[in-house]
Amino acid sequence: MQKTNQDERRNKMKHIFKKGKNTDLPTLLLLHGTGGDERDLLPLAEMIAPDASVLSVKGNVDENGMARFFARLREGVFNEEDLVYRTKELKEFIDESAVKYEFDRKNVVAIGYSNGANIAASLMYHEKHSLRGGILFHAMVPRRGVTLPELSDSPVFIGAGKRDSLIPMSETQELIKNLNDANAPVTEFWTDGGHELRREEVGAAKEWFDNNFSNE
């Protein structure tokens, strides 16, 4: 019964869509961190690609009043069943939004922070062509023991902090290796900071985006 209710709610995700001045650019899929909402990363989109269209989504999972994109058992330990379900939920929401808002489904680049970066990585782990690329700020390995699709056409930018108390460097390096093994072109950018998002990361992500998508 609970799963039926979940299925009825699927694709009903609170969101903001803004059509950009340059519709040739990828639509930016904005995915907030734990406790955020659909407004949190709008300033990031303005800094990285101000002329791009934006689909900014709020996670459907409530953890003690904090919005997330999927459940976890405890800090750093994901509920894999819910992760798989919510990844499919988000993928289907993007599919339907592309029809509703008339943007190119094949030209979507995610910008995610923390929990949002993890669900973006999960899209790439589970769904071939779910994203044209991704900017993953402070992400973890979403799932182990799965075979990733071929990702040679999906460049990824990973921003991380060397002193991140929530994500050890080895975790980020494992994520990078997994993506590289799937032939994804990965650009990594490390700061001396922790889990916070730093301006130099955003600047590097903008340069990466311009190099990969703005000069086509």
Task: Please indicate whether residue 153 is annotated as part of the active site.
Answer: no
The question of whether 62 is a catalytic residue gets the answer no
List the catalytic residue out of 40, 126, 138, 164: 164
138 is catalytic: no
* Catalytically annotated residue among 56, 114, 130, 154: 114
Angle at 120 between CA 142 and CA 84, to 5 degrees: 55
Residues identified as active-site: 114, 164, 195
